[in-house]
Amino acid sequence: MMNDLMQAVGLPTSLAAMARLTGEAPVLRSSFRVDAAAQASIAASGLAAAALHAARGAALQTVAVDMRHAAVEFRSERHLRLNGGEAHESWDSIAGLYPTADGFVRLHTNFPHHRAGILALLACAPTREAVAGELLTRRSLAFETEATAAGLCVSALRSHAQWLAHPQSDALAAQPLVTIERIGEAPKTPLPAAAARPLQGLRVLDLTRVIAGPVAGRTLAAHGADVLHITAPHLPSIPALVMDTGRGKRNAALDLRQDGARFAELLTGADAMLRSYREGALASLGFSDERMAELRPGIVIGHLSAYGVMGPWGGKRGFDSLTQTATGMNADEAAAAGDALPRVLPCQALDHASGYLLATGVMAAMIRRAEEGGSWRVRVSLARTGIWIRSLGRMADGFSVIEPSQENIADLLETHASDFGEMTAVRHAALLQETPAMEGPAMKLGSSPATWLG
């Protein structure tokens, strides 16, 4: 598996020999091999960091990843605690699964404008009971189509066979797990001389939200990069996720509609930038990938999407839970567990795996630009990651374990001060032999100046 992941990002397959993978499944209750996906994707990011450090002149080091630790890290947002209190709720009250006249749909209403749009589309009161009653009069695929046309986030439940019959499935199957493509000409960009941490001295702009993209930024920060997260006051956020995925990053407020010149200045000093906006969104503000490569020759752009950028759903909004529903994972999980209702995976596995794979691809592209020159784009999509997870196979005994509780994972937690108070969180599972990952404190949105360190 590690050979395949190294090959997917263009790194030598010999790197896989530096991985020390321990533990066994199942850890989380699932028929899918989410534990193995967690271990492999986190290990891949650690190997990429070790390879980049070696490319800077350091000795190549081993990367140890325990399966239990990796699986727990795939649920890091659930284990976050502030000041010894309870977990923070990140789901809106009307988000989730609903029966329809002919099946099921899943709604994602965690952003206020998505919630308001669903309520307007259904023309009902803002209660779960009212939404449920109205959806019982709708047909699932028709409502999904209507909501998608309105720019909202809804997935109809499909079996895997139904998903394979969808044209977007064919479009995704033709795409690599991680796409790394040259998007501009630039001279070779030498990596800085070896430092104490693999990515120390490298700068990353993070324009992502929720889980997958921010996990990529958090991973790069954990290995030493100066990660500057950019948001704006008009953009919604989910506080619990800001805290968990923001560890180690600085946070600046910048509205690209008015502050494009300042963003362009930041871009000229960046080594990489991460984005999860739909295709064309940044281009409408004057920052297409090609334009950013002109402003900063040698930039590495990491792009996270729900369903890829090709095919009929290339521009469709989506989140992990919706992608699970649309691609047959919820239906298959229910069948394996003997449940009558669709069953979600035990974690946001598509999000977390995609985040680590995106970070892996970005680091691999940094090595390539040093060796070959050029500006690069790395693409990862939640649905394509789901195909990879499915390819790992299924487990007949996947529901035989009791899932880890906060109390019995105490050995995997660390506590430190943050802008939000004393924070307890899952520490990073990829243990580099010489340069352990260090996830710094989480900072509030907009609390940092829009400048680079140093």
**pLDDT tens per residue across span 276-332:** 988 888 989 999 999 999 999 999 999 999 999 999 999 899 999 999 999 999 999
Nearest to 81 by CA among 426, 440, 429: 426
Domains and their CATH numbers in the chain: 2-88+171-309+346-432 (3.40.50.10540)
Q: Tell whether the model's pLDDT for residue 87 goes beyond 80.
A: no
Q: What pLDDT is stored for residue 370 in this prediction?
A: 97
* Structure-token pair, residue 452: 């680079």
**Calpha distance 267→264 (Å, rounded):** 5
**Calpha distance 36→24 (Å, rounded):** 8
Other Cβ atoms closer than 10 A to 20 = 14
Type of residue at 249:
K
Type of residue at 168:
Q
**Calpha distance 189→182 (Å, rounded):** 14
**Calpha distance 393→117 (Å, rounded):** 38
* Structure-token pair, residue 229: 């997260």
Residues 450, 230 contacting (CB under 8 angstroms): yes
Other Cβ atoms closer than 10 A to 391 = 12
Q: What pLDDT is stored for residue 315 in this prediction?
A: 85
Q: Tell whether the model's pLDDT for residue 246 goes beyond 90.
A: yes
Q: What pLDDT is stored for residue 436 in this prediction?
A: 92
- Separation in Å, CA 283 to CA 214, 278, 291, 307: 21, 10, 8, 19
Residues 427, 411 contacting (CB under 8 angstroms): no
Query: Residue range 112-131: average pLDDT?
Result: 96
Residues 6+ apart with CB under 8 A from 425: 76, 79, 80, 81, 244, 247, 413, 414, 415, 439
What are the tens digits of pLDDT across the range 158-201?
A: 999 999 999 999 999 999 999 999 999 999 999 999 899 999 99
Query: Residue range 113-135: average pLDDT?
Result: 97
Q: What pLDDT is stored for residue 454 in this prediction?
A: 76
What's the Rg (C-alpha) of the chain? Answer: 21
What are the tens digits of pLDDT across the range 375-387?
A: 999 999 999 999 9
What are the tens digits of pLDDT across the range 252-269?
A: 999 999 999 999 999 999
Residues 405, 382 contacting (CB under 8 angstroms): no
Q: Distance between alpha carbon 241 and the CA centroid of its chain, in Å?
A: 11
Q: What pLDDT is stored for residue 277 in this prediction?
A: 86
Q: Where do we find the tokens 């790194």?
A: 11
> Is the full-model pTM beyond 0.95?
yes
Before 236, cis peptide (omega within 30)? no
Tally of helices (H runs) and strands (E runs) in the chain: 16, 16
Q: What angle do CA 182, 185, 187 make, to 5 degrees?
A: 115
What are the tens digits of pLDDT across the range 414-454?
A: 999 999 999 999 999 999 999 999 988 999 999 999 999 87
Q: Which 3 state secondary structure label does DSSP give 115?
A: helix
What are the tens digits of pLDDT across the range 6-28?
A: 999 999 999 999 999 999 999 99
Q: What angle do CA 347, 275, 226 make, to 5 degrees?
A: 90
Q: What pLDDT is stored for residue 428 in this prediction?
A: 97
Nearest to 324 by CA among 396, 278, 383: 383
Q: What angle do CA 435, 441, 443 make, to 5 degrees?
A: 135
DSSP state of 403: P
| Local confidence band at 116 (pLDDT 50, 70, 90 cut-offs) | very high
Type of residue at 94:
I
Average pLDDT, the chain: 96
* Structure-token pair, residue 102: 């002919």
What are the tens digits of pLDDT across the range 14-68?
A: 999 999 999 999 999 999 999 999 999 999 999 999 999 999 999 999 999 999 9
| Local confidence band at 88 (pLDDT 50, 70, 90 cut-offs) | confident
What are the tens digits of pLDDT across the range 201-223?
A: 999 999 999 999 999 999 999 99
Nearest to 60 by CA among 116, 11, 114, 112: 11
Q: Tell whether the model's pLDDT for residue 86 goes beyond 80.
A: no
